[in-house]
Amino acid sequence: MELRTLVNVMLGSLQPMLIVWGPSQTTLYNDGYAEMCGKRHPAAFGKPFGELWHDIWDQVEPIISAAYAGQGTSMDDIEFVMHRNGVPEETHFAFSYTPVRDPWKTVLGMFCACTEQTSTVAARNAERTLRERFEQVFELSPGGIAMLTGPNHVFEYANEVYYSMIGSGRDIIGKTVAEAVSEVVRQGYIDILDRVYQTGEPFVAKNLRIELNRGTAGEKQDRVIDLAYQPMVEDDGKVIGILVQAIDVTELRAEEEKQAQLSHELGHRLKNQLAMVQAIASQTLRNSTDLASARVRLSDRIAVLSAAHDTILLGGMGASTVTQLVDKMTSLHDDPANPRITVTGTNIKVGSRPSSLSR
- Phi/psi of residue 358, nearest 5 degrees: -65, -20
Rounded to an integer, the average pLDDT of 241-262 is 86
pLDDT the model gives residue 310: 67
Query: CA–CA distance from 32 to each of 36, 119, 121, 173, 249 (Å)?
Result: 7, 16, 19, 43, 61
Domain boundaries along the sequence of the chain:
2-122, 141-248, 281-357
Query: CA–CA distance from 346 to each of 158, 322, 323, 326, 349 (Å)?
Result: 65, 8, 8, 12, 10
Q: Which of 170, 171, 187 is nearest to 223 (CA)?
A: 187
Give the residue ranges of DSSP H helices in the chain.
2-11, 31-37, 49-52, 57-68, 118-140, 160-166, 177-180, 189-199, 250-287, 291-316, 322-330, 352-357
- Phi/psi of residue 70, nearest 5 degrees: 95, 10
What are all long-range contacts of 327-330, with beta carbons under 8 Å and residues at least 24 apart? 328/304, 329/358, 329/359
Q: Which of 33, 79, 35 is nearest to 59 (CA)?
A: 79
pLDDT the model gives residue 215: 57
Name the average pLDDT for the chain: 86
**Amino acid type, 162:** Y
Same fold yes or no, 2-122 and 141-248: yes
Q: Report the alpha-carbon distance of residue 60 to residue 55 in Å, rounded.
A: 10
The class of domain 2-122 in CATH terms is alpha beta
CB distance 115 to 200 below 8 Å: no
Domain 141-248 grouped into CATH 3.40.50.720: no
Give the model confidence (pLDDT) of 54-112 as tens digits: 999 999 999 999 999 999 999 999 999 999 999 999 999 999 999 999 999 999 999 99
Q: Which of 297, 298, 354, 295 is nearest to 326 (CA)?
A: 354
- If one compares 14 and 259, the residue with the highest pLDDT of the two is 14
Cut 0.85: pTM above it: no
Rounded to an integer, the average pLDDT of 246-265 is 83
What is the biggest distance separating any 2 CA atoms in the chain, rounded to whole angstroms? 141
CB distance 50 to 57 below 8 Å: yes
Give the model confidence (pLDDT) of 157-216 as tens digits: 999 999 988 987 888 999 999 999 999 999 999 999 999 999 999 999 999 999 998 755
Q: Is 263 helix (H, G, I), strand (E, B) or coil?
A: helix
